[in-house]
Amino acid sequence: MEASTATSPELLVNGHLSEEEKDFEGEGIATSVQEEGGLSEARKFDWNAHWYPVAVVADLDKRVPTAVRILARDLVVWWDRHGKTWQVWDDRCPHRLAPLSEGRINEKGELQCSYHGWCFAPCSGDCTCIPQASKDGNPVWKSKRASAAVYPSVAQEGILWFWPDTRPEFQGIMDTNPPPSLPALADLTFTDELASRNLNYGYEQLIENLMDPAHVPFAHHGLQGNRNMAVPINLKVDKLENSGFTGMAARGPAVFTAPCIFTMEAQIPGKPTKKGVPKKVVMIFICIPVSPGQSKLIWAFRRNFSLWMQVLMPRWYLHIRQMLVLDSDLYLLHVAERKLEEAGSRKWETVCYVPTKSDAFVIAFRKWLRVYAGGKPDWNGRYDGLPPTPHREMLMDRYWTHVKVCRHCTAALKVFEGAESFLQVVSVGAAAMLGMAALKPSPQVRSWSIPLAGGAVLATVASRWLSNFVKKTYHYHDYNHALVK
């Protein structure tokens, strides 16, 4: 597919490129689109009329309600054990607005608010019990005002999706307009599990960063290639429209399905698989708007070869590597986002100089965002501007953004913390035995002194190493580009 520069008449601005777009065209990569003022209402992108991923299903805990924020909405996710389905509700009790995510799933399988004990039935959200209401009086729990707000939701291909509208007419939306399918997730000849992380920069920064392969040898030096591997990259963009765009990279197609999904396929040169099909990797990135300056990424690198890696390679180890990659450009993106906000209402293409073909996908996304989608996600008037920059250690936190919600990393963390505690006990025990030996010296006791001292030292050193490993791996690990050779 060749880049579309001014070939599609319906995408022109009054039949020609604007002066800004001529400057923006660079090496012939600009995709001309119609400006927002010329779009019909039917062609504008409605942020509130699409499915959004909530979580990776395998990482959800069926025992407790879970709080999630997506598209400026506070949600509670919980398991209906009778209906065998995940529920996605508005995270507030209709009584005094306490978060239902701090509640419990009671003995009847209902969601109970922990503030005053109100109970709500699965699927409908109807209130079934108000402990403070007399059973002989007016049945106030039957009022619609007593019901919890329920979002349409469905688990598909390992991802829980929700539709951001609780009105009754949308409860059957799954039947007429299901979430987008990702064939590489459904295809059992491909392997790799989904993973997720919350990030301290916004949806716009996240998705354009993943569309930009040119940053990899620099921002991820030593993790994914190195600085000496940088070369010109020829990315090509096809037709850009309300629903997203398609493009072509060096080894295969790329597709942006608005608002969240970006996939890139890469055909691997060499021998085909045992089934005679070409080796292929499908990189799946699902970029979710949470709130200004906050986003969530769900990803998988699905492949149809080397399936043994799925069994032999521990997931927690792969996640360590992936956390390093995400951390190595996290601060860059966080600061760049704030510099862009400082530019105010100026168009992105006038603030950023993007003259090479390696930025073609980023340019197409920013044009889609500006022309069709109002320039940013629709926060429903709930936010105004970016939040303050937190301390660097909070900004790059791993525990709350990934580890706590990842079953693999949580299990590994418990093992390492247990080993650390065991080594501490061994160290203290060996030191105590040495102390007792000093009080009652004898040839036999002295013969054990050196092994005990050595064991105490080794246990202490190992314990300290594990403590540092746990902190860097599961809590906070900085990446200083100037010091990485």
- How crowded is residue 227: how many other Cβ atoms within 10 Å of its Cβ? 12
Least confident of 24-28, 124-128, 170-174, 322-326: 24-28
Q: Which two tokens stand for residue 4?
A: 């579309």
Q: Rounded to the nearest 10 degrees, how much is the dihedral formed by the CA atoms of 467, 195, 367, 328? A: 20
| Per-residue pLDDT at 17 exceeds 70 | no
Please tell me the distance from the alpha carbon of residue 150 to that of residue 147, in angstroms, as a whole number: 9
| Per-residue pLDDT at 248 exceeds 90 | yes
Question: Do residues 293 and 202 lie in contact, with contact meaning Cβ atoms separated by under 8 Å?
Answer: yes
Q: Which two tokens stand for residue 441?
A: 């010296």
Q: What residues pair up with 218 in beta bridges, in sequence order?
A: none
Count, in order, helices (H) and strands (E) of the chain.
13, 18
Residues 6 or more apart whose Cβ sits within 8 Å of residue 360 = 3, 29, 31, 235, 236, 237, 247
Residues 6 or more apart whose Cβ sits within 8 Å of residue 67 = 74, 75, 76, 77, 91, 99, 101, 102
Q: Rounded to the nearest 10 degrees, how much is the dihedral formed by the CA atoms of 141, 146, 147, 149? A: -170
Question: Residue 39: what pLDDT?
Answer: 59
At residue 462, what is the residue type? Answer: A
Q: What is the pLDDT of residues 212-228, one digit of tens each?
A: 999 999 999 988 888 98
Question: Do residues 476 and 398 lie in contact, with contact meaning Cβ atoms separated by under 8 Å?
Answer: yes
Question: Residue 308: what pLDDT?
Answer: 74
At residue 49, what is the residue type? Answer: A
HSE-up of residue 457 (Cα within 13 Å, Cβ side): 6
| 3-state SS, residue 78 | strand
Question: Residue 153: what pLDDT?
Answer: 97
Tokens 């037709």 belong to: 239
| Per-residue pLDDT at 240 exceeds 60 | yes
| Per-residue pLDDT at 51 exceeds 90 | yes
Question: CA 272, 273, 276: angle at the middle one, nearest 5?
Answer: 70
Q: How many residues can be counted in the chain?
A: 485
Residue 246 exposed, middle or buried by CB count within 10 Å (0-12, 13-18, 19+): middle
